């Protein structure tokens, strides 16, 4: 699943036709509990699920894995050059790092020539709106151009959650200057069958403004 809109890889085929995934080495970035890697395994691919959070990887282990889990920062990937055919990330790592170009360059490095990296992030337009699923989430409340990160702190003032904003132009520039070709930019529309709310994502907002941007990138 790429996003709260409900677009899945069976429908989207952004990594290519599912039958072509067989035998492919795939790196999942910011894997969380590794749902995507579990699906990739079922298609015959050979995924490696990477996350910075040890706790998330423990969840992955508890659910069950038949592929390697790697605890590492996506900005410093512990793999040799050209180790993977494909890389993917569903809302993993990229929204949470101050300089996403570090991640993009690392992913490019570990991909083989012709390799594809597909990643989804919150659609940059959402930054200008309150993160609310109801009507209050439909009025512009901040500047789309303000790149000040969103930070939540604990009682001691330690940052416990940080999200970084990039405009759509920033993201395209990040991809291209990191050595990728942008093959597609998908803005999934909210389907009528999806009646669920998840954080600031809801049918109300989803029918009016994009909630997710999926970047399909290829290296030469």
3 state SS of 82: coil
The single residue among 12, 15, 32, 190 that binds ligand SAM, judged by CB under 6 A, is 32
* Distance of closest approach, residue 92 Cβ to ligand SAM, in angstroms: 4
CA 219, CA 108: separation in Å to the nearest integer? 7
- Residue 121 forms beta bridges with which residues? 213
What is residue 195's DSSP assignment?
Answer: -
Nearest alpha-carbon partner for 133 in 193, 32, 191, 209: 209
- 74: contact with ligand SAM by CB under 6 A: yes
- 57: contact with ligand SAM by CB under 6 A: no
Identify whether the C-beta of residue 96 lies closer than 8 Å to the C-beta of residue 119.
Answer: no
* Distance of closest approach, residue 2 Cβ to ligand SAM, in angstroms: 8
Work out the angle at residue 97's Cα, subtended by the Cα atoms of residues 115 and 8, and round it to the nearest 5 degrees: 50
What is residue 205's DSSP assignment?
Answer: H
* Distance of closest approach, residue 134 Cβ to ligand SAM, in angstroms: 22
The single residue among 21, 69, 93, 216 that binds ligand SAM, judged by CB under 6 A, is 93
- 211: contact with ligand SAM by CB under 6 A: no
Closer residue to ligand SAM (CB): 52 or 172: 52
Q: Quick one: residue 142, left, alpha or beta (phi over 0 = left, psi -120 to 50 = alpha)? A: beta
* Distance of closest approach, residue 61 Cβ to ligand SAM, in angstroms: 14
CA 119, CA 9: separation in Å to the nearest integer? 12
Q: Given the rule CB under 6 A, which of 11-19, 93-101, 165-173, 208-216 is the region that contacts ligand SAM?
A: 93-101
The single residue among 15, 31, 60, 87 that binds ligand SAM, judged by CB under 6 A, is 31
Which residue do the tokens 């809109």 mark?
Answer: 5
- 53: contact with ligand SAM by CB under 6 A: yes
Contacting residues toward ligand SAM, per CB under 6 A: 30-32, 35, 51-53, 56, 73-75, 90-93, 96-97
């Amino acid at each position: 699943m790429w996003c709260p809109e409900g677009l899945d890889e069976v429908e989207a085929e952004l990594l290519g036709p599912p039958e072509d995934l067989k035998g492919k080495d795939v790196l999942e970035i910011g894997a969380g509990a590794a749902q995507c890697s579990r699906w990739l395994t079922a298609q015959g691919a050979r995924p490696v699920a990477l996350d910075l959070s040890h706790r998330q990887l423990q969840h992955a282990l508890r659910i069950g894995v038949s592929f390697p889990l790697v605890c590492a920062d996506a900005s410093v990937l512990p793999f040799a050059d050209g180790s993977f055919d494909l890389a993917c990330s569903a809302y993993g790592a990229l929204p949470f790092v101050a300089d996403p170009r570090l991640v993009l360059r690392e992913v490019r490095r570990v991909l083989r020539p012709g390799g594809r990296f597909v990643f989804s992030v919150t659609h940059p337009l959402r930054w200008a709106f309150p993160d609310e699923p109801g009507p209050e989430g439909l009025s512009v409340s901040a500047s789309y151009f303000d790149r000040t990160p969103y930070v939540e702190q604990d009682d001691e003032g330690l940052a416990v959650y940080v999200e970084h904003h990039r405009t759509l132009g920033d993201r395209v520039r990040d991809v291209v200057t990191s050595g990728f070709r942008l093959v597609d930019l998908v803005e999934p529309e909210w389907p009528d069958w999806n009646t669920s709310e998840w954080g600031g994502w809801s049918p109300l907002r989803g029918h009016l403004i994009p909630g997710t941007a999926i970047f399909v990138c290829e290296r030469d």
